[in-house]
């Protein structure tokens, strides 16, 4: 399976702390930004209007190796590691000029969001799985797409 997506970006000034280094919390935002770009590349939005599906984060982590600073250009690689019945698990690596800066992971759950009801986990729709795996005809053949 793994499906990967690469996103290149530059550090903005507001993402840095008083020491001029990207604040650790921004790495989670970078991972989520790459996730949303992956979904758009698959022809979808993770927050589609008119649907009662939601995708809350149920786990996230990062390990840091090198700092990022204002104006640094870097790449975010997000990879789908697993699609289970009701959840998706990603891995994420941030690099600058081929040097590993950080590694992270995130797990999201598929839930139904209905007014006046608690969220309830639900199976991921087959068409979402097919698109995330890159199947052009909507089938669940599991073929990778880079």
Residue 128 and residue 134: Cα distance in Å, rounded? 10
Give the active site residues.
Answer: 17
Residue 126 and residue 61: Cα distance in Å, rounded? 28
Residue 45 and residue 132: Cα distance in Å, rounded? 11
């Amino acid at each position: 399976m793994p499906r990967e997506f690469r996103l290149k970006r530059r550090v903005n000034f507001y993402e840095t702390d008083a020491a001029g280094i990207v604040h650790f919390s921004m790495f989670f935002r970078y991972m989520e930004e790459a996730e949303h770009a992956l979904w758009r590349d698959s022809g979808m939005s993770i927050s589609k209007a008119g649907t009662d599906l939601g995708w809350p984060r149920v786990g996230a982590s990062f390990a840091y190796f090198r700092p990022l600073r204002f104006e640094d250009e870097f790449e975010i690689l997000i990879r789908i590691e697993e699609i289970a019945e009701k959840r998706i698990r990603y891995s994420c690596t941030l690099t600058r000029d081929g040097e590993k800066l950080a590694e992270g992971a995130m797990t999201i759950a598929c839930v139904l969001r209905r007014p006046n009801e608690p969220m309830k986990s639900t199976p991921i729709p087959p068409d979402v799985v097919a698109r995330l795996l890159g199947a052009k005809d909507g089938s669940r053949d599991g073929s990778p797409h880079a």
